[in-house]
Structure 1
Amino acid sequence: MNSDQILTEIREANLSYLMLAQSLVRADRDQALFRLGISEETAAMIAVLTPSQMMKIASGNTLLCRFRMDDDLVWGLLTNHGKGAANDTTSRLHASILMAGRHREAA
């Protein structure tokens, strides 16, 4: 993949993310704050973006979204390879609880 393809992929991901974020914020603000890991102020800005503003923001060369799992514990819980389905459900729940707690700390 060359650099032009990478930039095109980043722009498409940015636009998809902004569209999803705006849709979530407008449908259920509290869920959007939790699921996207954004602040109330960011949600307010996203909610009122026009399509042309979203296109302009998305056209940059920097990815707007980022991974919220930035430690080995959460990654280990989410990638629980080779373990049973019941344990997988418990691990995902544990990871969700950890990420929710971190979102509350950041807010």
Structure 2
Amino acid sequence: MNADQMLAEIREANLSYLMLAQSLIRADREQALYRLGISEETATLISTLSPAQIMKIAAGNTLLCAFRMSDDLVWGLLTNHSKPGANESVSRLHASILMAGRHEHA
């Protein structure tokens, strides 16, 4: 993948993320705050963006979204690499609980 293709992919990801975020915020604000891991202020800002503003912001060369979990425990639970024979649904539930707790502290 060359640099131009990578920038195009970043812009597409930004546009998709902003459109999804705005839709989630407008549909169910509390769920959006949790699922997106954003503050009230950020949610208010995103929900009021016009389509032209979304396009302009998405056109940047910096990825707007980021991974919310950065520790090995959560990644191990999500990928089931932490314990051989682990129950996938229990591991995902555990990961969700950990991430929800981190959202409450943010």
- Structures share a fold, TM > 0.5? yes
Query: What is the CA-CA distance between 1:83 and the residue it aligns to?
Result: 3.4
TM-score normalised by L of structure 1: 0.94
Match of 2:7 in 1: 7
Query: What is the CA-CA distance between 1:69 and the residue it aligns to?
Result: 1.4
Structure 1: any 5+ residue segments left out of the alignment?
A: none
TM-score normalised by L of structure 2: 0.95
Give 4+ residue runs of structure 1 displaced > 2 Å after superposition. Answer: 81-84
Q: What is the letter of the counterpart of residue 3 of structure 1?
A: A
Structure 2: any 5+ residue segments left out of the alignment?
A: none
CA deviation map 1:84-103 (0-9, x unaligned): 6xx10000000000001001
CA deviation map 1:46-105 (0-9, x unaligned): 001000000000010100000011000000000005636xx1000000000000100110
Match of 2:30 in 1: 30
1:57-68 alignment runs, 5 A limit:
57-68=57-68
Identity of aligned residues (%): 77
Aligned pair count?
104
